[in-house]
Amino acid sequence: MSVVSGAWEELADDVRSAMVACGKQTWAGIYEGVATKNKKWRPLRPPVMTPEQYGEITGLTERLAKLILDACLRRASTVGELRGLLGVPEGQIEFLDETEPLTEELLVAVRPDVLISDGVPKFVECNIDSALGGAYDSDGIARRFLAAYREHGVPESVRLRAPESAVDTRFEAMREQLDLPDGATSVVLFHMGSDYPDTQDGHTLIKLLEPVRDRGREAGLDVVVRPLEWLTLNGDGRLCAGDVVLESVLRMFIPQEVPHGAGYDALATALRTGTVRMFTSSATWLLGNKAIFAWLWQDIGRLSTVDVEVVRRHLPRTDLLDAAGIGRAVARQRDLVLKPTGTSGGAGVVVGREATAQRWRDALDSAVEAGGHIVQEYVLADRLAMHFVEIETGEVRQEAVPYCVAPYLFGRRPAGAYMRFAVPDSAAGSVVNLGQGALTSGLLLVE
């Protein structure tokens, strides 16, 4: 029984029926404005966990993040040294201060991707950065489902609640880390034209993110929303978003392949001169490099007994791929997943058992030639029983689908989770991402 579906199965029949019935009436409003590329299906309910299950996963997340930093500190003391050891080309990560020291401050924003296998959480990657997608959507979906249940009379015998807000907790962590006073100016910053849905037009995304702006204002900051492309410098060399002179930036884009132009130059200048501070620094992105999982396995003999158990039980075996390892990887095709070390969103991932032998060998050869790849033990993941509605026909389907749990920690505080799951009849295989048509949800906790 999996961690997530187990909590649903233990609810009383009348409660489950009432939640699904409520979803049939309210799904359209609950998912209005949610970023997705799937135009066919919507969920009729959110996944649920017990507080104890959620606490287990978030506790492991905090420990894994510290193990990742420790693995880096055994090899480097500055961001520039770490970048070189990871084989990341100079200049590939934008706005990177190579003199920045490696400290626990870099662990301020964490969201791993966790699969559940026979009820055991397995961490297949760990994103460490401010640009952790899904926070606004997962917050909103969970709270809208909860409000609908209360309005439609889901039996009060079940105690449902939403975890702490990822959006609110991120603003709180930002204020604390940057020591921002009440009224400090800040911009929620994105760039146009990314692969994330609805980022092609600046005005559209500003409108979509107005509720995030409002939450920042409730947290005591003077927040605006702008695309990077629209930033300027005033006559005093201060970074501006329209008429607002900025003291801080909440970076909501991955610091790679960022479009260059006047806005980019303005931000780079302000960071270099110290007239603005960014949450988070681009250095955090380095800590999410998947090669560090391989370092943890290399370091197994240097860890405490407790941490060895964490790695062996919760971190799939991960190895750096080089020419000497191709033979082993070919022989173990069904047991391995090939991943680039520095990408996100499932880009470049090849699941051995889902590829032909020729496709697998070609992918391995290309990976060795390019450098910067790992092979990771395949996780035979549990499936999540979910209820879906087909948008066009109204047909309701219940199906057990692949899923991923992605809990947020901001300032080391648990703050909700970004739940992703495949849809009925999906041909995407075991990679569960928005680009492959997966759907998303927030999480509710059931007492």
- Under a CB-based contact definition with an 8 Å cutoff, are residues 395 and 337 in contact? no
> Does residue 251 share a domain with residue 127?
no
Instruction: Give the CB-side neighbour count of residue 323, counting CA atoms within 13 A.
Output: 2
Residue at which a domain ends, from 239, 261, 287: 287
pLDDT tens-digit series, residues 305-346:
999 999 999 999 999 999 999 999 999 999 999 999 988 777
> Does residue 311 share a domain with residue 283?
no
pLDDT tens-digit series, residues 149-163:
999 988 877 899 999
pLDDT tens-digit series, residues 52-61:
999 999 999 9
Encoded amino acid at 422, one letter = A
Residue at which a domain ends, from 343, 377, 411: 377
Q: At a CB cut-off of 8 Å and minimum separation 6, what does 223 contact? A: 185, 186, 187, 188, 213, 216, 217, 250
> Does residue 425 share a domain with residue 371?
no
Can you tell me which residue has the tokens 């520095």? 342
**Which helix (H) or strand (E) segment is 252 a member of?**
none
For residue 54, the model assigns a pLDDT of 96
For residue 343, the model assigns a pLDDT of 82
Q: Which of 148, 170, 191, 141 is CA-nearest to residue 34?
A: 141
> Does residue 400 share a domain with residue 255?
no
Q: How many residues does the chain have?
A: 447
> Does residue 187 share a domain with residue 208?
yes
Q: How many Å apart are CA 401 and CA 382, to the nearest integer? A: 9
pLDDT tens-digit series, residues 132-142:
989 999 999 99
Tokens standing for residue 110:
């964490």
pLDDT tens-digit series, residues 219-277:
999 999 999 999 999 999 999 999 999 999 999 999 998 999 999 999 999 999 999 99
278: β partners:
249
What are residue 181's phi and psi, to 5 degrees? -80, 170
Per-residue 3-state assignment (H helix, E strand, C coil) for 179-214: CCCCCCEEEEEECCCCCCCCCCCHHHHHHHCHHHHH
Q: Does the pLDDT value for residue 69 go beyond 70?
A: yes
Q: How many Å apart are CA 273 and CA 264, to the nearest integer? A: 14
> Does residue 266 share a domain with residue 121?
no
- Under a CB-based contact definition with an 8 Å cutoff, are residues 418 and 22 in contact? no
**Which helix (H) or strand (E) segment is 373 a member of?**
strand 373-377
> Does residue 133 share a domain with residue 242?
no
What are residue 29's phi and psi, to 5 degrees? -70, -35
Q: Which of 312, 308, 310, 318 is CA-nearest to residue 339?
A: 318
> Does residue 173 share a domain with residue 106?
no
Q: Which of 369, 366, 364, 335 is CA-nearest to residue 352?
A: 335
Q: How many Å apart are CA 163 and CA 293, to the nearest integer? A: 28
> For the domain that residue 251 is a member of, what is the CATH number?
3.40.50
Question: Number of folded domains in the chain?
Answer: 3
CB atoms within 10 A of CB 369: 9
Q: Which of 371, 324, 380 is CA-nearest to residue 352?
A: 380
**Quick one: DSSP state of residue 376?**
E
Residue at which a domain ends, from 287, 305, 329: 287
Residues of the domain holding 248:
166-287
> Does residue 283 share a domain with residue 295?
no
> Does residue 296 share a domain with residue 283?
no
For residue 2, the model assigns a pLDDT of 47
